[in-house]
Structure 1
Amino acid sequence: IRNRWPALHRWNGRLYMLSALALALGGLWMTWGRGTWLNYIGAIGITLDALLITGFVALAWQAARQRRFADHRRWAIRLFAVASAVWFMRVGYMAWGLATGGAGIGKAMDGPFDIFLAFANSLLPLAIAEIYLRASARGTPFARQATAALLGVSGLVILAGSAGAWMMMWGPYI
């Protein structure tokens, strides 16, 4: 799309960044303005994700405006990783639940797994995105193969978590 229809790419990117920014600010307001959090550590995780989204929107936008398109691409990939944190949280809970029966999940989302996922839902995809960016830019053949394997395993976990989310969260209500 970027090369064949550049105008569509630009407008789609603007809409994506605006949506991500609006949802991040909405998440901050729901967390701190309305106080709809179950535990303080989870609220800090949401805040960190919102700050990362806001920063990556600004950096991706700035790089595009300055026509530094390679930098823009890297910041946009990072933005996608952290803007998808709520999806990764749901998928993470379902994959963990299928694998362990829900061990470490507290009633108020204050168990060890809940605390881990409050930060891992944005930081783990961001770390995987960083590994991908570094391996694709200057990685050895082994590093590229290991990164491909990591992406494959991540994809399988996302697939399992998505199936679990469908079976337990959404499917029964349709």
Structure 2
Amino acid sequence: MPATLRARLARIGEAYAPHDHRPLDGYLVAMGAFGALAASLATAGKLVGQVPNRPAAGDVVLLSVATHKLSRMLAKDSVTSPLRAPFTRYTEPAGAAELNEEVRDQASTVRHGIGELVTCPFCLAVWVATGLTGGLVLAPRLTRLVAATLTATAASDFLQLFYDMAKKAAEDD
């Protein structure tokens, strides 16, 4: 990014949030990467001629639950912490095999912006949903299999939590 653009974004960021560090150029890089991903998937879908007029309702439900699970896994799971480690710092356990992490490296706005993205399951969801939707267009059988696995895992998570709550309630009686 040219120095003049970086300086201008820094001034805009300072005016936008004078009491809080907001990595606006980092966000621009993330938005540009997302735009490139979405455009690439759309172009690939058009080239193979597989873009449906509208997705099937079952696919929307399947991808919705799979998106929830995968974005949560990427942003919070202990096992995926090595993926987030270059951008975050561990702070504490968050229960049910999840972690709380804080974004590090305020000196690099791009790295800081990525850190915010990879620690936020809500933020990651649009990336995951776009990837899964692209996969549904380009490799529907494999994508449905992966999405079904993620959906089954999400259902299992909820059953595990429900079981723990029921067990604690029975012990309290």
Comparing both structures, which one devotes a greater share of its residues to strand?
Answer: 2
Structure index of larger Rg: 2
TM-score by length of 1: 0.31
TM-score by length of 2: 0.31
Higher relative contact order (CA 8 A, sep 6+): 2
